[in-house]
Amino acid sequence: MTSKSFGFGLFLSGLLTCLSFSWAFNEGFLSSSDFFELEPGAQDAIIRVIYDEALTDFLEQYPNWSSYAYADSETQWHVDFYDGEDWIGNAHIDFATDQLYDVFLVQDLSPEAYAVGREKIEKLIFSDAEVLALLGDPETWDYDISYNKWETHWEAWFGRNIEAFAMTFDEYDDQFYVSEIYDPYAFSAEEQEDLERNQAIELAYSAEGIDAALSGVDNWHTYAEPLKEDLWGVEFGGTEQLFYAVVNIATGEIVETSSR
């Protein structure tokens, strides 16, 4: 698929000729095999996007930047930028209107902005009733405050012995507020289920009679499903069910077993 607004050969040739000196910083990628292996529409999109002054200034910070583009529609393209393996931003171009939209560039705060923001966050933390209720005695906690440039928000972490909690902050009308408080070590629901499934399989594999049931079978598989509360059913099978166990992952108990 190619853009309708530009003939790639003419556009690229003219652009590189006009900008060969002022844009020497980007010729590394534009003359690379990675660039020329992209389809013409993707090449057009990248060239058009980096023609924008804001993108030019941004990419000057990354002498070894690279890019990849793909079509969102017949005239709209999504362009990602990378510094090595690190994603550093993206932009979108609509060739029907020749307009850039939804541009996001990963930017560090200036030292001045960082200092001002950190001071505001620190004041907020130690005056927020919910945070103070969690802390109890603030002097007993270690803490750190940082700016997440990928998510464009501030974060804070508190730790004491094995306890920890973290929080994120959003900004509205030049004022910060706590948007979320969470356990940084907590598993997601999916991660927790995967962990419990693995525990159930490991426990079932220790059951009496499992070795005999699987003896001589090379390509057996396992299937585990939650039953109720902490109980899991675990099946070991090949072309037929070879062994089945109900286990309690909370107590480590093998509740029942059956085999062929």
pLDDT tier, 10 (very low <50, low <70, confident <90, very high otherwise): very low
Q: Which residues pair with 78 in a beta bridge?
A: 70, 92
Provide the 10 A C-beta neighbour count for residue 67: 26
Least reliable range by pLDDT among 126-135, 183-192, 251-260: 183-192
pTM for this prediction: 0.58
Give the per-residue pLDDT at 12.
52
Please check the confidence at residue 106 and state whether its pLDDT lies above 90.
yes
Residue 6 has pLDDT above 70, yes or no: no
Residue 99: pLDDT over 60: yes
The two structure tokens encoding residue 203: 């426990």
Average pLDDT over every residue of 4-18: 46
Instruction: Kindly tell me if the per-residue pLDDT of 175 is higher than 90.
Output: no
- Residue-averaged pLDDT of the chain: 86
Whether the predicted pLDDT of 3 surpasses 80: no
* Beta strand pairing call for 76-83 and 221-228: unpaired
Mean pLDDT of the 73-89 span: 93
More confident residue, 54 or 8: 54
Q: Given a cut of 70, is residue 22 above it in pLDDT?
A: no
Tell me the pLDDT tens digit for each residue of 186-238: 777 788 888 899 999 999 999 999 999 898 888 889 999 999 889 999 999 87
- The residue among 9 and 75 whose pLDDT is bigger is 75
Domains of the chain, each with CATH number or no CATH: 8-105 (no CATH), 111-182 (no CATH), 189-259 (3.10.450.40)
pLDDT higher for 21 or 58?
58
